[in-house]
Amino acid sequence: MTGALDGLLVADFSRVLAGPYATMLMADLGADVVKVERPGTGDDTRSWGPPYSADGDATYYLSVNRNKRSIVLDLREDADVARALIARADVVVENFRPGTMDRLGLGYGRARELNPPVVYCSITGFGAGEGAGLPGYDLIAQAVGGLMSVTGEPGQGTKTGVALVDVITGLHACVGVLAALRHRDRTGEGQCVEVSLLSSLLSALTNHASAYVAAGEVPAAMGNRHPSIVPYEVFPTADRPIVIAAGNDRQFAALCAVLDRDDLAADPRHAANAGRVEHRESLVAALSATLRTRNADDWFTALSAAGVPCGPINDLAEAFDLGAHLGLAPAVGLEDPRRGRPVDQVANPLRLGATPPAYRLAPPRLGEDDAWVREILGR
């Protein structure tokens, strides 16, 4: 099958996570992505280990660079090659500090002169204005963007376990590029797509951000609890914790029935969610006392059968096992004769009936496609 983005050439000047994640999604959907890397070291994540694969590759790098081709360019000495690539590309993606690509003669203004229909995506930490000098690191964005203030236990300020802001920004970048391509299909006009870590995070904070913007309320960390729903948190069992998310009155009544605690459902204080939020402490204590009497898997089976959203807290091995058990095929192996063995990858989560994601190329060695790229630029 052909990919939805077959025929598109993406010049990827980005590195680390947000940009490479966005371009990998495009590559999975059929685009030809040329990854431009610095001489000697390449993408920073090539050295971000351990852990390493069996072939000695940093697994961080492997996570966001499949289906791409690598060329090594010094953007000062090889600017003519970089400009030739931009002139040929449908999409350009970069995440340098604001102004860097302009100083190199590779910014959007120059790209538009070389290639008027080009879609040029610029990813920054905090925009190209007053925030241009701020370092665009995910951890910094989590801190100053409010995410750490609502994560973890009260007063501690906790980051998420993955560079979530980079991933969210990469998704926004990909959506922006696809929207710009749709506009180009209709009008023939290219445009510049700009996305920042801070703006992406504030948008992704959804209900918390809305609480502040619409009601003036500043949310705070509540650990594993939800500010507006009860019960919606982690509970102890006889062996390991379980999450229960009873988001409406019917689910709460079903939970109480499985736990043989109809008295809790019949209590007028718990008839509606607002009352359950008001009486959170006593209700959670009562539920916890009963949940401690059986193990998590028993409760998971019984509660799921009754339509109560719940699940044990899995580690990643258990999570991938669950995905496989459910038929979601969460991992794939890419054949790679260059390495002599398959490269295991996390599967693209999209399912498209006519143009599904494809796994054509394992993450490239540094500069291994130099001849291929120069050959297509020379045609």
Catalytic residues: 166
Question: What's the DSSP call for residue 91?
Answer: E
Structural tokens at position 352:
């498209």
- What's the distance, CA 43 to chain centroid? 19
What number of residues does the chain have? 379
Residues 6+ apart with CB under 8 A from 91: 8, 9, 10, 11, 26, 31, 118, 119, 120, 121, 177, 181
CB atoms within 10 A of CB 269: 12
CA pair distance 366, 369, nearest whole angstrom: 8
Pairing of strands 331-334, 343-346: antiparallel
Q: By C-alpha distance, which of 95, 36, 23, 29 is closest to 65?
A: 23
CB atoms within 10 A of CB 128: 14
- Helix and strand counts by DSSP (H, E) for the chain: 16, 11
